[in-house]
Amino acid sequence: MKLKLGFLLSLLLVSCQPSYAAVYDNTQMCLLHAEFANTTMEARQYGVSKPKLLSILHEENKLVRVDKDVIELYEAIIDDAYKQPVVPYEETKQIMINSFSNAVYNICKKEY
């Protein structure tokens, strides 16, 4: 799971280089944030600890050096995900993951 998370976070961070607003339109940017939220909630639902996820985020950022605002946004997404309960059933986990990802996307679209 750590390898998958590290790889996915690395890809997401590379996608969010400081010039991401110029490269991506708002929809694409919001989709990237929603994908990060999806990965974060998936990690939450399958038992990855919050400190471990934050550690992976910061380890990957050492390699990629993403804008501080993006890292703060991703830390906030992690914080919000870990305020949600872990649910017991596979179907319920998927609903929780999708719902969280959609919420992040919708908030992003309203902001931008």
pLDDT in tens, 89-105: 999 999 999 999 999 99
pLDDT at position 14: 46
Phi, psi of 109 (to 5 degrees): -60, -35
pTM across the whole model:
0.80
User: For all residues of the chain together, what is the average pLDDT?
Assistant: 83
Residues 32, 16 contacting (CB under 8 angstroms): yes
Assess whether pLDDT exceeds 60 at residue 22. Answer: no
> How far apart are the C-alpha atoms of 85 and 108, rounded to whole Å?
23
Q: What is the DSSP letter of 66?
A: -
CA-angle at 40, arms to 39 and 42, nearest 5°: 65
